[in-house]
Amino acid sequence: MAESRKKKDVPERSGKSSKTTQKSAAKRKTTNSSAKKSTRQTKQEAAAKAAYGAKMQDEVMVLLSFAVALILILSNFNLVGSVGKGIKWFMFGLFGVVEYIFPVIMAFTLVFMISNKNIIAVARIKTAAVYIFTIILSAVWLRIVNEPKIADAGIMEFFTYSADYKSGGGLFGGILCRILSPMGFWGTMVVLIILAIICIIVITEKSFINGILKVKKNGSRMMMAAKQDYDIYREHSNERLAGRDMYDDEDEETQEEYLARRRREKEAKLQEKYERQEERARKRMNKKAHGVTLDTQLPKKEEAVKSVDVHEIVPDISVHDEYSADIYDPGDSFEYMQENVDDNIEEHIENDSYIDLSDSSGVDLYEDSNENSNEDLYENSYGNPNEGTDTNSYDNTYESPAEDTDISVTSDNRTNTADMAESDSQLEETEEIRMENSVDKKKQEYVFPPVSLLNRGKGTDKAGQSRENKETAMRLQQTLQNFGVKVTITDISCGPAVTRYELQPEQGVKVSKIVSLSDDIKLNLAAADIRIEAPIPGKAAIGIEVPNKEAGSVSLRELIETDAFKNNTSQIAFAAGKDIAGKPIIADIAKMPHLLIAGATGSGKSVCINTIIMSILYRANPEDVKLIMIDPKVVELSVYNGIPHLLTPVVTDPKKASGALNWAVDEMTKRYKLFAKMAVRDLKGYNAKVSKIQVGEGETPPEKMPQIVIIIDELADLMMVAPGEVEDSICRLAQLARAAGIHLIIATQRPSVNVITGLIKANVPSRIAFSVSSGVDSRIIIDMNGAEKLLGKGDMLFFPSGYPKPVRVQGAFVSDDEVGKVVDFLKEHMQQEVTYNEEVTNTMTAAAGNVSGQDNEKDSYFADAGRFVIEKEKGSIGMLQRYYKIGFNRAGRIMDQLADAGVVGPELGTKPRKILMTAEEFEEYLKKNNL
């Protein structure tokens, strides 16, 4: 029993004891943690106390060092009584003449050491270097004056001499000179100077040799480096004063490493800054080169308004204008080939002459000249004359070959499936037709129109304009000053219709403040409208564009006569106009590769299209460039009927127009197939290959393919007639036609979203915005405000793809008269009647029939679509849309026609229609109906 009680007791006791143990453990834990807490607190308090103590100590030390330095300085001037005299005697004895500056040095080093306590090791070394430098100075002085005589004097004599006569180099200088005395005067001097340089290097931590090189390269860099060192130390002292110990977190980093790291960081930042500046400078293409002066700083603030020294830009058209030539791709070597001009074009333009038909056999003359010029061109740009005998100076860098292959072969499977369904025989047929054409058609010699057919621009009164500009600049500055915004006019660029004043606001002025003052500026300048570019891209300035009192215009002739136009190697480059600085802007459609022109009525769209067409007529042979003109307005482009560049007469019927676009899509597909067959990637490659093909006698080589430019003057009209199809065709062309050498130029008056749809916008990257009525319209065209501020009459925002911001350009002007004269000239000089491409005409007629007579006639896809739905056993409109890349309306119509023919059943809601015919029955139906 006793045993069992004992046993019971044991667990009870053990239970109790375990509880007690837990409690005590808990207690101990609490005590421990509270003890820890209190220790932490005590530590923190102690640290705070130590920090406070150190701070106080530092302050006392600073004050003391100043006091000592002050006493030393005053002693030098005998202002501290007998004690001062004693100090002066002693200090001169030690340092000689350097004692005059020694107190300052001493005060400086003491403060320096105190404020750099965290890097005391470095600070000590630097301080020592400063003192050694001081002693070297005394030695140099002693060596120069040699008083007392270094070779004879005893060591203490240096001390007493300097102390008594307040001259010489003192004890330290004397010792140094005595050590070096065996080396003579020059030897001693060299050693002393080298030692001094070493001290400077240690103090500044700058390499002497690199320093010299850098100074040579950029004098300001040394200044920056010194500033940088100063910044580092200042940061250190600031951090220390703020009570932060930077080494807390960087235990492993030594002081030297820390310094080195900070220096590296600073240097990297500096480097970045320089690179940015260089890049900016490069981007601006250095306006100074074209006559801009920046020397317009105002001498005195008060007189600033009265004496603005402004300079007007005088465009120097004799200088080759890299800027405009290079507007899309600054690195493009093609653009810089000034010497490699297409001889043909240059000759015609420069001499106002054209090929003398009387002494040429036409074909030969043309071929020779073309070949030569282009061979040169390629030889110079690629170093391989054999590779480029293509008459199309097509830019070969803007499109990646790999991309193009992808586009044609892989990215559009549907197209290819559909297209590849056409047999190879069809392809051969096409080729045969091409060859036949080439045999039938005798090559016509194209006679370039002379520039004398165009009018010269009216000259502007430059002196009057410059005076006016200066007055406006003063008024502008005064206006801004009245609103408390101080600016400096740094530049004035006088364009044909607009003048841009470049302002540099004072530090602390917000750009938005100037922008918000636009109405006040307008009021004070009595300007119709102003546009503020804030900031000007790549410049530390704000541009205020004010319309000129007399709006000047830019004639097409003056642009055609510029080097920039003549030297451009593209056949489809056009003279867009002049920018705000008066520089000609020459753009290449091939690079765009499609262009959208939009603006309100009367803003200058038609004139712009005319300048594009005229530029092409002045540059390109009809064999190299073909045009399709679509003009639903009827009156704008009809004048061009009869020129040899046209593939088909100017299309005025919107229904036919959609057919013309369909033809272009087919042509594009055919071209891609031919490219694939010839294993080339684009039109340029194809033409190059074709020109190299060697054929036997009697055989005719395949013809080169021309670039095709499709011009639509009023997209809105087309979109009204067949929105789906037109949009489909435009998008297909815009997506894929670049490599095939087909380019679109689309103009529209109504930039509403149902005309310029998102799809069209996405696929036509280059834009020209003429004046529009609202910011909303401007945003539809160029995705930003700005076009609503334009003045009309050819004032445009030119925004080609690849350009970061639109450029304000005054468009070139060509009158209907001039156009008429050029067209008449071309017609007169044609050797035979113009032959239009029948294929285009047929497709257009068919399309017109489809749209108008859709109730009676079957769609051109009817037979294919019937076979396709039977094969797929599914009658779905969506499937037809996708497969043939056609709009919903057209696919719906085809499905209705199939239903009428009994191929498919009636609609079943969202489900596909049932197929009611077999393939054989359908073929029979087609035969019966002659389809």
- The answer to whether the bond into 315 is cis (omega within 30° of 0) is no
The answer to whether 605 is annotated as binding is: yes
Q: What count of Cα atoms within 13 Å lies in the side-chain half-sphere of residue 743?
A: 26
Residue 705 exposed, middle or buried by CB count within 10 Å (0-12, 13-18, 19+): buried
Stretch that binds ligand ATP, among 154-162, 190-198, 520-528, 605-613 (CB under 6 A): 605-613
Could you tell me the smallest distance in angstroms from the CB atom of residue 602 to ligand ATP?
4
The answer to whether 599 is annotated as binding is: yes
User: What is the amino acid identity at position 651?
Assistant: V
Could you tell me the smallest distance in angstroms from the CB atom of residue 636 to ligand ATP?
7
Could you tell me the smallest distance in angstroms from the CB atom of residue 813 to ligand ATP?
4
What's the helix, strand, coil split of the chain in %, to 5? 60, 10, 30
Interface residue with ligand ATP among 173, 315, 582, 604 (CB under 6 A) is: 604
Regarding 606 and contact with ligand ATP (CB under 6 A), the answer is yes
Stretch that binds ligand ATP, among 236-244, 260-268, 368-376, 599-607 (CB under 6 A): 599-607
Could you tell me the smallest distance in angstroms from the CB atom of residue 794 to ligand ATP?
2
Q: Which of the 8 DSSP states describes residue 626?
A: E
The residue with its CB nearest to ligand ATP is 794
Regarding 555 and contact with ligand ATP (CB under 6 A), the answer is no
Phi (first) and psi of residue 746, to 5 degrees: -115, 125
Among residues 148 and 496, whose Cβ is nearest to ligand ATP? 496
Interface residue with ligand ATP among 143, 236, 557, 605 (CB under 6 A) is: 605
Stretch that binds ligand ATP, among 49-57, 300-308, 500-508, 601-609 (CB under 6 A): 601-609
The answer to whether 601 is annotated as binding is: yes
Q: What count of Cα atoms within 13 Å lies in the side-chain half-sphere of residue 921?
A: 11
Among residues 565 and 813, whose Cβ is nearest to ligand ATP? 813
In 3D, which of 826, 809, 343 has the Cα closest to residue 574?
809
Could you tell me the smallest distance in angstroms from the CB atom of residue 649 to ligand ATP?
21
User: What is the amino acid identity at position 545?
Assistant: E
Regarding 603 and contact with ligand ATP (CB under 6 A), the answer is yes
Q: How far apart are CA 392 and CA 709, in angstroms?
A: 13
Could you tell me the smallest distance in angstroms from the CB atom of residue 612 to ligand ATP?
12
Among residues 786 and 811, whose Cβ is nearest to ligand ATP? 811
Q: Are 724 and 889 in contact (CB under 8 A)?
A: yes
Regarding 601 and contact with ligand ATP (CB under 6 A), the answer is yes
Among residues 606 and 860, whose Cβ is nearest to ligand ATP? 606
Phi (first) and psi of residue 904, to 5 degrees: -120, 160
Regarding 15 and contact with ligand ATP (CB under 6 A), the answer is no
Residue 258 tokens, joined: 């820390």
Which are the contacts of 536, defined by CB distance < 8 A and separation ≥ 6? 502, 542, 543
The answer to whether 604 is annotated as binding is: yes
Among residues 453 and 715, whose Cβ is nearest to ligand ATP? 715
Could you tell me the smallest distance in angstroms from the CB atom of residue 583 to ligand ATP?
16
Q: Are 80 and 71 in contact (CB under 8 A)?
A: yes
Q: What count of Cα atoms within 13 Å lies in the side-chain half-sphere of residue 550?
A: 11
Stretch that binds ligand ATP, among 164-172, 262-270, 519-527, 594-602 (CB under 6 A): 594-602
Among residues 188 and 771, whose Cβ is nearest to ligand ATP? 771
Q: Which of the 8 DSSP states describes residue 762?
A: H
Could you tell me the smallest distance in angstroms from the CB atom of residue 713 to ligand ATP?
8
Residue 325 tokens, joined: 């030539």
Q: List binders of ligand ATP among 720-739 (CB under 6 A).
A: none
The answer to whether 603 is annotated as binding is: yes
Among residues 174 and 811, whose Cβ is nearest to ligand ATP? 811
Torsion angle, CA of 62/67/70/76, rounded to 10 degrees? -130
Count of residues binding ligand ATP (CB under 6 A)?
A: 15
Give the count of beta carbons closer than 10 Å to the beta carbon of residue 707: 24
Could you tell me the smallest distance in angstroms from the CB atom of residue 769 to ligand ATP?
12
Regarding 771 and contact with ligand ATP (CB under 6 A), the answer is no
Give the count of beta carbons closer than 10 Å to the beta carbon of residue 364: 11
In 3D, which of 673, 736, 728 has the Cα closest to residue 412?
736
Residue 671 tokens, joined: 């071209």
Residue 470 tokens, joined: 């200066």
Regarding 599 and contact with ligand ATP (CB under 6 A), the answer is yes
Q: How far apart are CA 513 and CA 516, in angstroms?
A: 5
Could you tell me the smallest distance in angstroms from the CB atom of residue 811 to ligand ATP?
4
E-state strands within 403-525? 487-494, 498-505
Q: Are 747 and 769 in contact (CB under 8 A)?
A: no
Q: Which of the 8 DSSP states describes residue 911?
A: B
Among residues 449 and 604, whose Cβ is nearest to ligand ATP? 604
Stretch that binds ligand ATP, among 212-220, 240-248, 335-343, 598-606 (CB under 6 A): 598-606
In 3D, which of 725, 723, 782 has the Cα closest to residue 751?
782
Could you tell me the smallest distance in angstroms from the CB atom of residue 804 to ligand ATP?
25
Q: List binders of ligand ATP among 782-821 (CB under 6 A).
A: 793-794, 811-813
Q: List binders of ligand ATP among 535-554 (CB under 6 A).
A: 553
Q: Which residues line the annotated binding site for ATP? A: 599-606
Judged by the rule CB under 6 A, the positions of this chain that interact with ligand ATP are: 553, 599, 601-607, 749, 793-794, 811-813
